């Protein structure tokens, strides 16, 4: 199951991340303010679940919902219980008091498992698999002359859009058109391996040599492709790349 942590206390967020990883969750990233959360949620596909602290450094988390239509299910976390009733107005599954007790978290995860069949019918959680890594796309079929060939995703340097069409570039420096949008590919590709650096390009971490002045360097010379990271995405890229 994929998840996002929105928490302004660094020790608490790191501990929660460790507990979630221990229980098989994939944590996309940790965000520490309403502003950062709004920016991230506007630019990225939403995870299955969000663990969200109510009192953040710059405002109450409810401000996030005023700026973004969140498709994820929400687990609210806070050291105060005064917002419990209000929290359940926002697509929430549960409410955990901090410091989060590991046994209570495990009980919550068990409850999520019980409702797995219900989530299966929800468009946003239909592929949910607790305690296992999500199934991401691992190959593509392409036509080479009269031959159909399977290309593994690990062979692909990047995906890019051009002239209202989408292409993928292999490590053989060959590009192939594919019948898919970058938006759809973002949902199908492993987010730990692929990152959408701009509106027009998704990059494979495997082929990144480094980043210089906001531009990705690769071992391949690809003509007419711009590997510059969008200014709004640079911070999140660096968190992903580390």
Whole-number pLDDT of residue 39:
92
The answer to whether the predicted template modeling score (pTM) of the entire model surpasses 0.85 is no
Whole-number pLDDT of residue 88:
60
Tens of pLDDT, residues 12-23 = 999 999 888 888
Q: Please identify which residue in the block is written with the tokens 């990271």.
A: 229
Whole-number pLDDT of residue 90:
66
Q: Is the peptide bond before 77 cis (omega within 30 degrees of 0)?
A: no
Tens of pLDDT, residues 119-176 = 444 544 444 444 445 578 889 988 887 888 899 999 999 999 988 899 999 998 888 9
Which domains, from first to last, does the chain contain?
2-119 (3.40.50.2300), 157-241 (2.40.50.1020)
- Among residues of the chain, what percentage have pLDDT more than 90? 31
* Distance, CA of 3 to chain centre: 8
Measure the CA–CA gap between 85 and 107, rounded to whole angstroms: 21
Measure the CA–CA gap between 43 and 124, rounded to whole angstroms: 17
Tens of pLDDT, residues 190-224 = 988 999 998 899 999 999 999 998 999 988 877 77
């Amino acid at each position: 199951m994929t998840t996002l942590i929105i928490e302004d206390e660094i020790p608490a967020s790191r501990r929660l991340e460790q507990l979630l990883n221990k229980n098989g969750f994939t944590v996309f990233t940790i965000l520490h303010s309403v502003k950062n959360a709004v920016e991230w949620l506007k630019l990225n596909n939403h995870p299955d679940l969000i663990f969200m602290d109510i009192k953040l450094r710059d405002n109450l988390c409810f401000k996030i919902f005023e700026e973004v239509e969140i498709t994820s299910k929400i687990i609210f976390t806070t050291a105060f219980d005064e917002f419990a009733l209000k929290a359940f107005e926002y697509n929430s599954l549960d409410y955990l008091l901090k410091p989060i007790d590991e046994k209570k978290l495990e009980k919550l995860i068990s409850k999520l498992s019980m409702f797995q069949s219900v989530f299966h019918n929800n468009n946003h959680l239909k592929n949910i698999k607790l305690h296992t890594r999500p199934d991401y796309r691992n190959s593509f079929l392409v036509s080479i002359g009269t031959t159909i060939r399977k290309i593994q995703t690990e062979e692909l340097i990047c995906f890019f859009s051009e002239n209202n069409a989408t292409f993928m570039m292999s490590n053989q420096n060959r590009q192939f058109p594919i019948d898919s949008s970058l938006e759809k590919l973002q949902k199908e590709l492993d987010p730990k391996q692929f990152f959408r650096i701009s509106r027009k390009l998704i990059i494979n971490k495997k082929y990144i040599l480094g980043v210089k002045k906001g531009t990705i360097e690769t071992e391949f010379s690809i003509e007419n492709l711009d590997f510059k990271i969008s200014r709004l995405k640079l911070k999140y890229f660096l968190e992903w790349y580390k």
